[in-house]
Amino acid sequence: MRSRAIAVATTLGVTLMIPAPAFAAGVGEVVVPEWLSITSVGFGLFTAVILLVGSIMLKEVSAGSSIADNMTYIMTGAICIAASMLARWVVLFVPSASSPELITLASDLLLTAGMALFSVYFFRVRASLVAFMKVMKQAAADTEGS
């Protein structure tokens, strides 16, 4: 049963990844309204600032724990996301920018760097929590055996 579900999911995934239906649609150039672009970038910047403030407050509360020890990754990731949103605003508000394609690429790379930093944070905190849980289970087993 499980292998059948995996086969169906794989077939569906491969079918949807083929771009033929998108090309067959024949839709002309897609135009995103400027107000939507500005609003989404503003919301992204606001979210990055909230994330940065929240991580600073969490670092203060959890001083000495594995969460606080690795909080630098979250804060740096939030700064990358905020810088990415600011780069998007440069493309939106300065149409005569020297190379909007390069600025967009830099923005995308900053987002990728932010996600990579978040991943490092979560993997490091998970590893320390797994080690902590092993010690706690061993301590619980030792007290039960005594």
Lowest mean pLDDT among 17-21, 72-76, 116-120, 141-145: 17-21
pLDDT, position 42: 84
Q: Is 74 helix (H, G, I), strand (E, B) or coil?
A: helix
Instruction: Sketch the domain layout of the chain as residue ranges.
Output: 33-145
Task: State which H helix or E strand residue 104 sits in.
Answer: helix 100-145
67 near 125, Cβ under 8 Å?
yes
DSSP 98: S
Distance in angstroms (rounded) separating the CA atoms of residues 122 and 118? 6
117-131 pLDDT, tens digit per residue, is 999 999 998 998 899
Give the residue from 128, 56, 117, 55 showing the smallest Cα distance to 81: 117
88-119 pLDDT, tens digit per residue, is 888 877 777 678 888 889 999 999 999 999 99
pLDDT tier at 137, thresholds 50, 70, 90: very high
pLDDT tier at 86, thresholds 50, 70, 90: confident
